[in-house]
Amino acid sequence: MNTNQIHFDNLSKNSFTIGIKKTSLFTRILLILFTSLFFIAPIIGLIINLIERNELRIGIFISFIFFWLIALFLGRLVLWNIYGKEIYFIDENKIKYCSDFKYFKDSFKEIKNIDLNLEFEKVGYIEDNFGVLLIKNQSEYLKSAIKVPIPELRKFIAEINTTLNNT
């Protein structure tokens, strides 16, 4: 199965990926612009203070931390909107999940591979016809953050249930 957003990563079908639909070019440029602005702003403030020969105070360094933390958050948002995907690994005992931002990954989350139930949850407006993948057992669950068209989710769930029942 090789669709727009969901695909198996190899022939043994023990892992699959859900990729995002890239946002518009305007949105990505705007995010990159704001990220750059928040990264450069405290440097410009420091240079202006040095040119005016003002004494350095703790506020300058606090502004570096504040602005760079916002830039880090916006940088992750930029990477997610360009390269974001969720990777699922199916093992005999558990299913592992992580979010991949291309240059770094979130920590792995996992649930036991016992009495699994795959379903989807509708999200957004009804006319948009989007949903997210929900994998759960008796006590734990993994919920995707990526919206996928519901027909694609239905097709994928049918195929993955066949794969899980054959192992």
Nearest-angstrom CA–CA distance, 146 and 152:
13
Residue 64: how many CB atoms within 10 A of its CB? 15
pLDDT for the residue numbered 166: 61
C-alpha span between 32 and 36 (Å, rounded): 6
What is the chain's pLDDT, residue by residue, as a tens digit (167 residues)?
A: 444 788 777 655 678 889 998 889 999 999 999 999 999 999 999 999 999 988 888 988 999 999 999 999 999 999 999 999 999 888 888 888 899 888 888 888 888 888 888 889 999 888 888 999 998 888 888 899 899 999 999 988 888 777 666 65
Q: Where are the domains of the chain?
A: 6-20+86-166, 25-81
Please provide the CATH number assigned to the domain covering 6-20+86-166: 2.30.29
What is the pTM assigned to this prediction?
0.79
